[in-house]
Amino acid sequence: MVFKMTTKIDPIYTEHIAEILALDFYGNNHMACKVSKFPPSENNTLSFSSSIDVEFFIFPKNSIVIAKPEVVESLVDKGASVVISSEPKYDYCRLFKHLLPPPFYGVHSSAVIGNDVILKEGVSVGAGSVLEGKILVGEGTIIGNNVVIKNKVQIGRNVRIRHGSIIGEDAFSFGFSRKKDVKPDAIRFPSLGGVIIEDNVEIGNNCVISRGTFGDTILGKRVLINDLAHIGNEVFISEGAVVTANTDVSSRVKIGKGCWIGQSASIRQGHVIGDGATVGMGAVVITDVPDDATVLGVPAKVKDLG
């Protein structure tokens, strides 16, 4: 079986790509009508490369590559035209944000919107979603299908919440009675806080973000949460942090600016992950993590990268 590795796009020229991205280009003004991963396998294809080792790749005719300055001459010698970028993948994404048609804006007829919900201009709410409580949704935010947002939630501008996520439900916190000769009992602790999601946050599919018991659960600007993540009550995730798939962040954890939390990591309640730190895939964090440190393992320990 042969899998097709290209996708058709409307024709676009190197010069136009460079103009959209406000970047320089080198080589001929080729036309691309397809996109693919690098290296391309067909003529007239647009791709990107973050590599600086391209010597051994063979290029079809009239390729356009968004690539780093170090490889410009080599790629042009192979017949490609190059849009010069220090961050090729980022600029490739920027280009497609410009080229792709804008998503549909509006509230699906099957969505449930409570009386106290405020939707600002350009908000989209997908099929089967339920928004109930004191909820504010900022301009340009897109809420997918079957999303539940309840109680006290404030959502900023240009946020993306993908399908099936639940935001603002009560925290998993209980008071227990285990007196002798008395049947054990548990009463759920009241959740009085809310959830604050700042501008340009992305929340993946089937995530759960609990509201706080007393304070708020807060996701700072440009935070990215991948699918199936659980964010406990009163967690604070600072600006630009990334939490990847299947991660469990327990209550009252503070994640610093620009952190990377690897897949299936678990962070014990109340701990601090310092600015710029990396938590490795599957790590179990039971202590604070210093700024810019990398921790791995079970239990997680600081790895010396020197």
Give pLDDT tens digits for 176-234: 888 777 777 888 888 999 999 999 999 999 999 999 999 999 999 999 999 999 999 99
Query: What are residue 93's phi and psi, to 5 degrees?
Result: -65, -40
pLDDT at 108 over 50: yes
Percent of the chain with pLDDT over 90: 73
Amino acid, single-letter form, for residue 177: S
Domain boundaries, the chain: 6-99, 112-302
Quick: pLDDT tens for 138-164.
999 999 999 999 999 999 999 999 999
Give the range among 46-55, 71-80, 167-176, 234-243 with minimum mean pLDDT: 46-55
Is it the case that residue 5 has pLDDT exceeding 70?
no
Q: In this structure, which topology does domain 112-302 adopt according to CATH? A: UDP N-Acetylglucosamine Acyltransferase; domain 1 (2.160.10)
Q: What average pLDDT is seen over the chain?
A: 92
DSSP letter string over 225-265?
E-TT-EE-TT-EE-TT-EE-TT-EE-TT-EE-TT-EE-TT-
- The burial of 185, by beta-carbon neighbours within 10 Å (0-12 exposed, 13-18 middle, 19 or more buried), is given as exposed
pTM over 0.75: yes
Which stretch of DSSP H or E encloses residue 66? strand 64-67
- Which architecture does CATH list for 6-99? 3-Layer(aba) Sandwich (3.40)
pLDDT tens digits for 220-276?
999 999 999 999 999 999 999 999 999 999 999 999 999 999 999 999 999 999 999
List, edge to edge, every strand of the sheet that includes 260-261. 124-125, 142-143, 160-161, 202-203, 224-225, 242-243, 260-261, 278-279, 294-296, 301-302
> Burial of 1 by CB count in 10 Å (0-12 exposed, 13-18 middle, 19+ buried)?
exposed
